[in-house]
A and B are shown apart, each in its own frame.
Chain A
Amino acid sequence: MSAERGTLVVVDGVNGAAVRAAARAENAAAPGTRRGGVSVWDASGVFEDLALADPGAGAPSARTLLLLYAADLAFRLRWEIRPTLAEGRTVVAASYVATAVAFGRAAGLPRAWLNDLFAFAVRPDKAHYVDAPPARAVADRSGFIEFAHDRLAARPSGPTRRQLIDRARTYMQPPGGRRLSRS
């Protein structure tokens, strides 16, 4: 094990497939001895399980979805991200905190609550943003915001689902983060 802490690179965006592709490219670009792999959203399977839930159980709210996102991130930090960093290698997270915060802000949740919720997360060394619209085909919807877009409880007095995604894209662009692509 290396005494030097590794590097955490995070990739965020509303299009899950594009985020994963960008993360894989980042991982491939890392020097072979330091390459630590990609930690992807829903490694814990929480959302996979949620997708199988009885529709009669009721649609989750934005807060519920974000608490689940945080639980999944805690799992990824414990099993994938922190161990790789402790070995002194580079790990790429696809997606990370910015995706969840952008979704929460788009849904109208207070920024302070979102920041507190993810206070346990490791601060990234590099942050990238993939500026691509969400996938239209159901089979390609492999990211959190696309998942949430499909399942979020209806908001009669709030933004439409389309507006929610557009807002999330606006909130996503992190100050100091690098834009990787546009489509």
Chain B
Amino acid sequence: MPHQAVSGRQVLLRARERFVDPTRRGFLVAFEGPDGSGKTTQRKLFKKWLESEGRSVVTTKWNSSDLIKPIIKTRKAVHALSPHEFSLLHAADFRHRVEHVILPALWDGKLVVADRFLFTALARDVARGLDLDWVLKLYQPLLWPDLVFYFSVSPDTSGRRVTATRTPGFYEAGADVTDVDDPVESYHRFIKRVIREYESLALIFNFITVDAERSITEQHHQIRELFREGERRPWSEWNIDAVSEWLSHSKGRA
């Protein structure tokens, strides 16, 4: 169909025109790491600093879309999800946020800070026994962050920090796959698997690793420096498919 082909090319050109221009495009930073790694604290400090520098910042958190989150929440509450269902529903939540929160903000030139990104799904789902390649494909067309900060902690530190204030939830503790009733013991077993996957992903995807055993202040200053160095990176052409597909069903932008 010639009309569709032309339309598709126009969308592609429009996407490239907007995102290659460093003065117009936004910037996407992801904070990744296991529970108890302190990434949320660092994300908040980072956002405050950016805003003090006059930046317009949009934050997006894992499993937070208004459309899908309630569906996941009710099923988690009754422990009704298999690893496949868990994975697919989180991928749906992520896709909806990419289309309704992340890409619109980037299009408007804003700085998006993601508290967890698709790497969370890769680490957790593979730790649940799913195939890495299958999970990665769920997230296609892939949207790569400009920077990924990975907050590295040992399983012991993660376990100590998480269990110091609360009992881990059923899925947080991986109780659906460990067959261990005690949530603390289950968490210790599961987080070892999750961290092992994270460490592999950090190598494969070239994350910027932050030693999350260091003090909060030291980490924050390191993140500022790394961000200043990283924000001059050119836009990744890998993202063209994700942006084009989004543009093709975004009113008023295509």
Per-position contact with B for A127-163: 1 when CB-CB < 8 Å, else 0? Answer: 0000000000000000000000000011111110000
B88 and A70 within 8 A (CB):
yes
Query: Which of A6-14, A56-64, A84-92, A174-182 participates in binding chain B?
Result: A56-64
Q: What residues on A are CB-neighbors of B68 within 8 Å?
A: 64, 68
User: Contacting A49 at CB < 8 Å: which of B74, B95, B248?
Assistant: B74
A155 and B248 within 8 A (CB):
yes
In the complex, A56 Cα to B251 Cα: how many Å?
15
Closest partner residue, chain A, to B83 (CB atom): A74
**Number of A-B residue pairs with CB-CB distance less than 8 Å in the complex they form:** 98
How far in angstroms is the closest Cβ of chain B from A172?
Answer: 19
Instruction: Tell yes or no: B201 within 8 A of A by CB.
Output: no
Given contacts A155-B248, A156-B249, contact A50 B85 (CB under 8 A): no
User: Contacting A57 at CB < 8 Å: which of B67, B247, B248?
Assistant: B67
Instruction: Tell yes or no: A125 within 8 A of B by CB.
Output: no
Per-position contact with A for B60-102: 1 when CB-CB < 8 Å, else 0? Answer: 0000011110110010000000101100110110011001100
Per-position contact with B for A52-80: 1 when CB-CB < 8 Å, else 0? Answer: 01101110110110011011001100100
Q: What is the interface residue range for chain B against chain A?
A: 35 or more
Q: What residues on B are CB-neighbors of A158 within 8 Å?
A: 4, 7, 248-249
Binding site for A on B (CB under 8 A): 4, 7-8, 10-11, 65-68, 70-71, 74, 82, 84-85, 88-89, 91-92, 95-96, 99-100, 134, 137-138, 140, 245, 247-252, 254
11 new A-B contacts, CB < 8 A, other than A56-B66, A108-B248, A157-B10, are A58-B96, A64-B68, A64-B95, A67-B88, A67-B138, A70-B88, A74-B85, A75-B82, A156-B252, A158-B4, A158-B249
